[in-house]
Amino acid sequence: MPLNEDQQTEIAALRQASTPTRRATVPALEEILYDALPVLDHGFVRVVDYMGDDAAVVQAARVSYGRGTKKVSEDKGLIQYLMRHRHSTPFEMCEIKFHVKLPIFVARQWIRHRTANVNEISARYSILDNEFYIPAPAQLAAQSAVNRQGRGNTLEGDDAKRVMALLREDAERAYGHYAEMLNEDETGKPVDPSRAGLARELARMNLSLNFYTQWYWKTDLHNFMNFLSLRADPHAQYEIRVYADAMLGVLDRWCPASAEAFRQYRMGGATLSSAGLAVVRRLLAGEAVTQDQSGMGKREWTELQATLGRNA
Catalytic residues: 231
Task: Categorise residue 295: left if φ over 0, alpha if ψ from -120 to 50, beta otherwise.
Answer: left
Cα gap 115→118, rounded to integer Å: 10
Dihedral angle at the C-alpha atoms of 227, 229, 233, 235, nearest 10 degrees? Answer: -70
Cα gap 31→9, rounded to integer Å: 18
- Neighbouring CB atoms inside 10 A of 102's CB total 26
From the list 99, 97, 101, the residue with the least C-alpha distance to 1 is 101
| Ordered strands of the 117-120 beta sheet | 37-39, 43-51, 95-103, 212-220, 117-120
Cα gap 67→45, rounded to integer Å: 38
Q: What is the DSSP string of 6-29?
A: HHHHHHHHHHH-----SS---HHH
The helix (H) or strand (E) run that includes residue 64 is: none
